Amino acid sequence: EMRNPLNSIINQNGKFEYILEQLGKFLTGADLKLQEIKALPTKEEVLRGLDSLEMVKSMTSFKNELAKVKKIQSSSSKILKFLVNDILDFARLKSNKFKKDVKAFDVREAVSEIIDIQKYQAQQMGIELRSRFEDLEQLNFMITSDEQRIQQVLLNLLSNALKFTRKGHIEISCKPIFREDIQKWSIQFCVRDTGVGIKRTDQGKLFKLFSTLNRTDQQ
């Protein structure tokens, strides 16, 4: 290979250009890194962000608690409404002014409303509330009866079931049955639970005024 000053200068220039190119890339990368560093939040900004995050968590917790309170309030107001209706019905019965309000209604909605009233209490106890409807599809789940009185009875039975059930579930079921005595179809409602049940000697108390059942036998 011929070596002369010109070749040496050309070679040196080539190396110098390569070095400048690499240096340029390095400086460009360094500038980008510097911009990234400048874009990083300061300690104060991080702390403010953490404070905001804690505030969001606190607000979320508050909203959850508020939702629980609203559920309790809604359930309590509905229970109060049924209690008032019970008292009014009792007064009407004594004065012979009791009248049924018979109309068509969706049995699923009626049962669902009763379950919703007691759902929060059941959840606190770890009890699952269920509903089951048998052979009502052909009726489109519409039945004709006194919806309010049926709901009052179901609510009372469900409340008693919660009182005597410590674990498991409570189910409200509904199905049509043919009554031989009147030769007509009727709707049968059942409230079943996984509790200890009620003694046969106490079952009659369910239909007596101002009678209560104790839980001394619940183990």
Reported as a pLDDT band with limits 50, 70 and 90, residue 62 is low
Structure token pair of residue 154: 């179901």
Summarize the confidence of residues 94-117 as an average pLDDT: 89
CA distance 77 to 91: 21
pLDDT at 1 over 50: no
State whether residue 130 is helix, strand or coil: strand
Q: Give the model's pLDDT for residue 218.
A: 44
Closest CA to 142 of 180, 187, 98: 187
**Are 164 and 193 a contacting pair, CB within 8 Å?**
yes
Beta strands in the chain (DSSP E): 103-106, 127-133, 142-145, 168-179, 184-193
**C-alpha dist (Å) from residue 26 to 11, 89, 123, 149, 150:** 23, 90, 64, 84, 82
Tokens of 55: 């505030």
Rounded-to-integer distance, Cα 101 and Cα 144, Å: 10
3-state secondary structure of 187: strand
CA 66 – CA 69 distance, rounded (Å): 5
pLDDT at 60: 67
CA atoms 41, 44, 45, 50: torsion sign: positive
| Predicted TM-score (pTM) of this structure | 0.61
Length, in residues, of the chain: 219
The band of 3, judged by pLDDT with boundaries at 50, 70 and 90, is: very low
Q: End-to-end CA distance of the chain, in Å?
A: 105
